[in-house]
Chains A and B, each alone.
Chain A
């Protein structure tokens, strides 16, 4: 660590004081259940855009995916394209408007609640809540681990204490201030992230002699691509990998499609569309959201590959090699080695902000899923705010326990897994529910079960990166993956999502056909 720890600790304390202040403001403004769950439906567009972006972009997107781009190259810019086109434009314009309008019309206050009301189905509400409660703690634990590791390395706090402190500080303002506190703090954190990433891009190009010079130098390093990566399709850091090579499949199916499409059906993001008063707020948020996501992902996926130039010029080694083979260490090592002390502090705050903003949103979504949706559906009544807060506390404890148990290497994997699961389980049913004049609960159930089930089967028995550590396939069939290449590097989302959509279509045709037959028979009778 190049920066004086006392200075960094002081700045961190000031930042935390600001976060706690905004959390307190959220607490003061949280009077009733609707305030806690959907921020009273009166959030400012700028706060919405920054909160959405800061929740979407976690530390793993900057550090993890930035490090992966240092290894695989600028091809990840296609993830930036999808993040802006799908994650912002389509999400707000196509999904956001309908979600907000239906949410306001039906009084829905959570994602499972929205699905339950659209389909008039307790099953859909239960099932959506169960996917959140079952899948989100792993993702939350991964964010907790990332944040705690960051605090441990930068502030020299023991890991266990860092994990506990991180979990408790975020928990305090989520439990007391609900979504208002979460979104206010998100906006501050998003602002810090934006400043940090902008300076990172500018300084990188200045250090490398300009835009064209930096890219030309990176292109000249193509001969330094490790032999193993070159054999797997890597063509240098300014070129796409060979079409359908194993690197191409990982880059496109897991990283670009997995995250780029997965973002559409994230419950913690979808609920944000219901926090604004009208569609004007959503329109205005598109403007800010597009710029914000470009600066987060675009900068990470550009600076990541360019670190190779800096490391080769200063150490003679490519970035991953200089980082000891650990892609997650590339960006922090580059920041600490290349950047001035003042920027290191800003960037470290940006990373802490990225972790906290995502974590607070996940806490809130899990808490409302169990405290509001599960309890509410079970009791067939509206739970009190204390019940929702108690549910939030329970899910925070479960996530913290999982974080203590899990290995640190799970961070990026858990992020992609959760996004894939959400898209496969929810996306076709969510789309159908928003846009169909006669949404079919039967078709939605078939789609959700098919999507979630297929995602699990492919994860447990085919996709090697998950099936090997899970060990279910090995236990039952004596092999880590039931299918060979290239299937074992194809992301579960790419298989499960189309099947989920097909299942929805098939169920709709079946239902409408049998209804027609029944009505014909009724006429005959």
Chain B
């Protein structure tokens, strides 16, 4: 994939990008949410 044949490497790149996307999505979804603890629930 993309010139790299060892799956252990491109899986690593995939996970790095995947976690970055997770950070972005989390940041957007939780943009205005305070969280359970703060609400006392």
Q: Which of A75, A88, A97 contacts B23 (CB 8 A)?
A: A88
Would A238 and B26 be within 8 Å (CB), given that A101-B37, A215-B4 are in contact? no
**Chain A residue with the shortest CB-CB distance to B22:** A89
A288 at the interface (CB under 8 A from B): yes
- Closest residue of A by beta carbon distance from B29: A283
Residue of chain B at shortest CB distance from A294: B20
- Inter-chain contact B30/A283, CB cutoff 8 Å: yes
Could you tell me if B26 and A211 are in contact, using CB atoms closer than 8 angstroms? no
- A287: B residues at CB distance < 8 A: 23-24, 26-28
Q: Is A524 an interface residue (CB 8 A)?
A: no
Q: Interface 1/0s, chain A 233-246, versus B by CB < 8 A?
A: 00100111000000
B9 and A280 contact, CB distance less than 8 A: no
Of B5, B12, B30, B34, most buried by chain A (CB within 10 Å of CB) is B12
Residues of B within 8 A of A89 (CB): 19, 22-23, 26
Are A291 and B24 closer than 8 Å at their CB atoms? yes
In the complex, which residues of chain A have a beta carbon less than 8 angstroms from the beta carbon of B34?
A: 278-280
If A279-B34, A283-B33, A291-B20 touch, whether A240 touches B26 (CB-CB below 8 Å) is no
Say whether A211 contacts B2, CB under 8 Å. yes
Chain B proximity mask over A269-313: 1 for CB below 8 Å, otherwise 0 = 000000000111001111111110010001000000000000000
- Asked whether B24 lies within 8 Å of A290 as measured between CB atoms, the reply is yes
Q: Known interface pairs A77-B13, A78-B12, A81-B12. Does A215 touch B23 (Cβ–Cβ under 8 Å)?
A: no
Given the complex, which residues of B lie within 8 Å of A84, measured CB to CB? 16, 19-20, 23
Q: How far is the CA of A298 from the CA of B32 in the complex (A)?
A: 29
- The answer to whether A97 and B37 touch (CB under 8 A), given A211-B3, A219-B4, is yes
- Interface size in chain B (residues, C-beta < 8 A): 28
Interface string of A205-228 (1 = CB under 8 A from B): 000000111111011000000000
Once A80-B16, A284-B31, A287-B24 are accepted as A-B contacts, the answer to whether A279 and B9 lie under 8 Å apart by CB is no
Query: Shortest Cβ distance from A61 into chain B, in angstroms?
Result: 15
Whether A238 lies near B5 (C-beta < 8 A) is: yes
Decide if B8 touches A239 in the complex (CB within 8 Å). Answer: yes
B3 engages A216 (CB within 8 Å): yes
Q: Which residues of A contact B16 (CB under 8 A)?
A: 77, 80-81, 84, 294, 298
| Residues in A whose Cβ lies below 8 Å from that of B38 | 101, 278-279
Quote the shortest CB–CB distance from B29 to chain A (angstroms).
8
Q: Write the nearest CB–CB distance from B22 to chain A, whole angstroms.
A: 6
Q: Which of A212, A216, A286 has the most CB of B within 10 A?
A: A286
Residues in chain A near residue B32, CB distance under 8 A: 280
Could you tell me if B12 and A213 are in contact, using CB atoms closer than 8 angstroms?
A: no
A214 to B3, CA, bound (A): 8
Residue of A nearest to B17 (CB): A294
The verdict on A240 contacting B19 (CB below 8 Å), with A97-B37, A211-B3, A280-B31 known, is: no
Q: In the assembled complex, how far is the CB of residue B10 from the closest CB belonging to chain A, in whole angstroms?
A: 9
Give CA–CA (A235, B3) in the complex, Å. 16
- Nearest CB of B to A284, in Å: 6
The answer to whether A219 and B31 have CB atoms under 8 Å apart is: no
Return the CB mask of A76-99 against B: 1 if under 8 Å, else 0: 011011001100110001000110
Chain A proximity of B21: nearest CB distance (Å): 8
Query: Which residue of B2, B8, B13, B27 contacts A240 across the interface (Cβ within 8 Å)?
Result: B8
A74 at the interface (CB under 8 A from B): yes
Determine the distance from Cα of A502 to Cα of B5 in the docked complex, in whole angstroms: 40
Question: What chain A residues lie within 8 Å of B2 (beta carbons)?
Answer: 211-212, 215
Question: 1/0 per residue A50-89: CB within 8 Å of B?
Answer: 0000000000000000000000001101101100110011
Most chain A CB within a 10 A radius of its CB, from B13, B22, B27, B35? B27
CB within 8 Å for A212 and B3 given contacts A239-B8, A280-B33: yes
Distance A286 CA – B33 CA, assembled complex (angstroms) = 13
User: Beyond A101-B37, A278-B34, A279-B34, is A240–B6 a contact (Cβ under 8 Å)?
Assistant: yes
Report yes or no: A238 in contact with B4, Cβ–Cβ below 8 A. Answer: yes
Residues of A within 8 A of B28 (CB): 287
Known contacts A215-B4, A279-B35, A291-B20; A239/B27 CB under 8 A? no
Alpha-carbon gap, A235 to B37, bound state (A): 49
Q: Can you name 7 A-B residue pairings with CB atoms under 8 Å?
A: A74-B4, A85-B15, A89-B19, A219-B4, A240-B8, A240-B9, A294-B20
Given contacts A89-B22, A219-B3, A238-B5, list 19 more A-B pairs with CB under 8 A. A74-B4, A74-B12, A80-B16, A81-B15, A84-B20, A89-B23, A89-B26, A212-B3, A213-B3, A235-B6, A238-B4, A239-B6, A278-B34, A279-B35, A280-B31, A287-B23, A288-B27, A290-B24, A291-B24
Q: Could you list which residues of chain A lie within 8 angstroms of chain B, going by C-beta atoms? A: 74-75, 77-78, 80-81, 84-85, 88-89, 93, 97-98, 101, 211-216, 218-219, 235, 238-240, 278-280, 283-291, 294, 298
